[in-house]
Amino acid sequence: MAGDESRPGTLYLVGTPVGNLEDLSPRAARLLGEVSLVAAEDTRRTRQLLTHLGLRTPLLSYHQHSGDARVEEICRRLESGEDVALVTDAGMPAVSDPGWRLVATAVARGLTVSPVPGPTALILALAGSGLPTASFVFDGFPPRRPGPRRRRLETLRDIGATVVLYESPHRIIATLRDVAAVFGDAPVVVGRELTKLHEEFLRGTASGIAAELEARARRDGRPKGEFTLVIGRGRKPTPPVGDRRRLSLY
């Protein structure tokens, strides 16, 4: 959509696939081709998506290290009438993502922000967990250091709702050990590689899943993939670890 100085542009928050390209909606694909600019967390990764769609929309990087000048640049383009799509590497932009700063600034300046639905790992993991979903708390990535991480987990435990967290392969085992120390034998489900060919759910207790991932690490090296943790309430017996589900999506 070319710039139209008679009206400000719209900032579209376009959800992109977390793994399976078939999950991109027709509306999202259309908008990625119609906007004047795509602001992307990793322009190389987003260029691959656009190439897959046969699109050549201009790209501009926007990530956690982007400063105020980049936010100002995008907002000026919106104010000049250009429509801009904001995307993250995978999932919904501005959710546990630096895109929220751009959204907050655009809202404060009276610009139109329009979310375009797409997959997000926290909802996928929660829906597939089998744990209560009527009341839940999403808390993004836990602190990296053990002390602050345990204190944060203690706060979440006392909320009394299902808890959803993201974690990297570098810290997943350590975080599970801390979850075990804080939540005891509460039921835990870990989603890995969601929507991808090797999608997997590990179900059990935090200590049991940590032991399973440690055994894999000794055999195969450090755990791979992005992890989403879903922590339930109560201290009741849980199903055994290792409920694996492989999907042939490609």
Q: Which domain holds residue 200?
A: 121-231
Q: Is residue 238 part of a domain?
A: no
Q: Is residue 42 part of a domain?
A: yes
State the CATH number of the domain containing residue 22.
3.40.1010.10
Q: Is residue 154 part of a domain?
A: yes
Last residue of a domain, one of 81, 116, 151: 116
Which distant-in-sequence residues (6+ apart) come within 8 Å of 164 by Cβ? 122, 125, 126, 136, 137, 138, 139, 228, 229, 230, 231
Last residue of a domain, one of 61, 93, 116: 116
Whether residue 189 sits in one domain with residue 174: yes
Q: What is the pTM of this model?
A: 0.85
Whether residue 227 sits in one domain with residue 126: yes
Q: Please give the Cα distance from 82 to 94 (Å, whole number).
A: 20
Whether residue 98 sits in one domain with residue 131: no
Opening angle at CA 61, ends 56 and 109, nearest 5? 105
Q: Is residue 176 part of a domain?
A: yes
The tally of domains found in the chain comes to 2
Place of tokens 């990764």: 45
Q: For residue 230, what pLDDT is reported?
A: 98
Q: Is residue 223 part of a domain?
A: yes
Q: Is residue 142 part of a domain?
A: yes
Map residue 8 onto helix, strand or coil: coil
Whether residue 58 sits in one domain with residue 26: yes
Whether residue 221 sits in one domain with residue 165: yes
Q: Is residue 216 part of a domain?
A: yes
Last residue of a domain, one of 67, 94, 116: 116
Whether residue 50 sits in one domain with residue 20: yes
Nearest CA-CA partner of 196 in 249, 124, 125, 118: 249
Q: For residue 107, what pLDDT is reported?
A: 97
Neighbours of 145 (CB within 10 A): 9
State the CATH number of the domain containing residue 138.
3.30.950.10
> Per-block average pLDDT, block size 10, for the chain (250 residues)?
73 95 96 98 95 97 91 97 96 92 97 96 96 96 97 94 96 97 96 93 97 93 88 60 40
Q: For residue 2, what pLDDT is reported?
A: 53
Whether residue 137 sits in one domain with residue 64: no
Whether residue 96 sits in one domain with residue 127: no
Q: For residue 4, what pLDDT is reported?
A: 58
